[in-house]
Amino acid sequence: DTADRQCCSPVAAISFMSMIAAVYLVFCGIQIVYLFMGRGSLPWGMTYSDYARQGFFQLLFVAVLNLVMVLMCIKYCREHVLLKAILLVVSLCTYVMIASAVYRMMLYVQQYHLTFLRVLVLWFLALLAFLMAGVIAQIWRKKFPFFRYGMVLVTVFYLLLSFGHADYWIARYNVAQWG
């Protein structure tokens, strides 16, 4: 039974997750101002390649970590309205992180063109965004079938990648950029 596993006090989760949410809100504010609004430039001595790679993998790691942390709070902590709100903030900040990773990858693609690995990265970021939508649904509705949703989502995304003729789209994009 799910109620038996929810032994963690919401107070502990609220304390921990609120600190994380506060740091994420500051980070997201910086991302919005400096990256998305163009108020900043590349750090000194960094190429587009360095900037995109370094930032991308850090953001990807944190986004996956957020997905796991939020799911664990939902599963192991008793329900509390403040905890739900904080988990929603963390989830929405994860969307800003995903958008930042996509933006960095697009800068990288514009500079160095498209490859299968870059398509795979963008594919995974899209999958992660849809998985986070399922997490948000589960925050508000405990009975949301997240596992089933995730399995169907991964299957559909895999089929799209497999039968989507990625090589054709990569070649078409690269030829258009060179032409």
Q: Residue 155: is its pLDDT beyond 80?
A: yes
pLDDT number for residue 59: 78
Span 120-138, pLDDT tens digits = 989 999 999 999 999 999 9
Tell me if 121 sits within 8 A of 56, measured CB to CB.
yes
Span 70-107, pLDDT tens digits = 999 999 999 999 999 999 999 999 999 898 888 888 88
The values of phi and psi at residue 8, to 5°, are: -75, 135
- Residue 8: helix, strand or coil by DSSP? strand
The values of phi and psi at residue 145, to 5°, are: -80, 75
Span 44-53, pLDDT tens digits = 777 767 776 6
pLDDT number for residue 5: 63
Span 53-64, pLDDT tens digits = 676 778 778 888
pLDDT number for residue 84: 96
Average pLDDT, the chain: 88
Q: Residue 2: is its pLDDT beyond 60?
A: no
**pTM, two decimal places:** 0.84
- Residue 77: helix, strand or coil by DSSP? strand
Integer Cα distance of 117 and 169 in angstroms: 13
